[in-house]
Amino acid sequence: MTQVTFKNSPVTLLGEQVKEGTVAPDFSVLANDLSVRTLADFEGKKKLISVVPSVDTGVCSQQTRRFNEQASDVENAVVITISCDLPFAQAKWCAANGLENVVTLSDHKDLSFGTSYGVVMEELRLLARSVFVLDDSNKVVYTEIVSEGTDHPDYDKAVEALKSI
């Protein structure tokens, strides 16, 4: 299991972490309009899933913007940002930042994504900063769980993994 800190304090990750080469587990999250979204909603697309503790903080905001800028032109791909923020807060953040085509999904209801992917920080009830790249058949081709929750992920490696599919 990956050791993670948040603001230099150790946190416990709940759930089983997904591994490269396996089929990604399904999940159930909420879209900004409160509709339920699952992995099947993105069937047939390559996926870069960017996971952040809260989209309305500096590093998380930068991560969401950067992945969308760097990967938006990858053919047949979608960039998804998942956090435990309320769907209303995610929609407000997107509007305030002029991002109309960003897919933000909320795991606040039952932590389905976080538990399925092993990234729930138990002590904070937030998701650990992480990145998962899935091919169009939902095979996991890249994972990164950032060891310090306030640090940035390796953007270049994640985007390269998406482009190489």
Q: Is the pLDDT of residue 1 over 70?
A: no
CA distance 137 to 22: 11
| Domains: count for the chain | 1
Q: Of residues 11, 60, 71, 102, which has the active-site annotation?
A: 60
Residue 38 in this model has a pLDDT that exceeds 80: yes
Name the helix (H) or strand (E) containing 140.
strand 140-145
For residue 98, is it within any domain? yes
Q: What is the reported pTM?
A: 0.96
Q: 160 lies in a domain?
A: yes
pLDDT-derived band of residue 102, with 50, 70 and 90 as boundaries? confident
Tell me, yes or no, whether 6 lies in a domain: no
Please answer whether residues 130 and 145 qualify as being in contact, where contact means their C-beta atoms are separated by less than 8 angstroms.
Answer: yes
Q: Which domain holds residue 147?
A: 11-164
User: Active site includes 60?
Assistant: yes
Look up the CATH number of the domain holding residue 28.
Answer: 3.40.30.10
110-138 pLDDT, tens per residue?
999 999 999 999 999 999 999 999 999 99
Between residues 72 and 126, the one the model is more confident about: 126
User: Is 2 within the bounds of a domain?
Assistant: no
Would you say residue 54 lies in a domain? yes
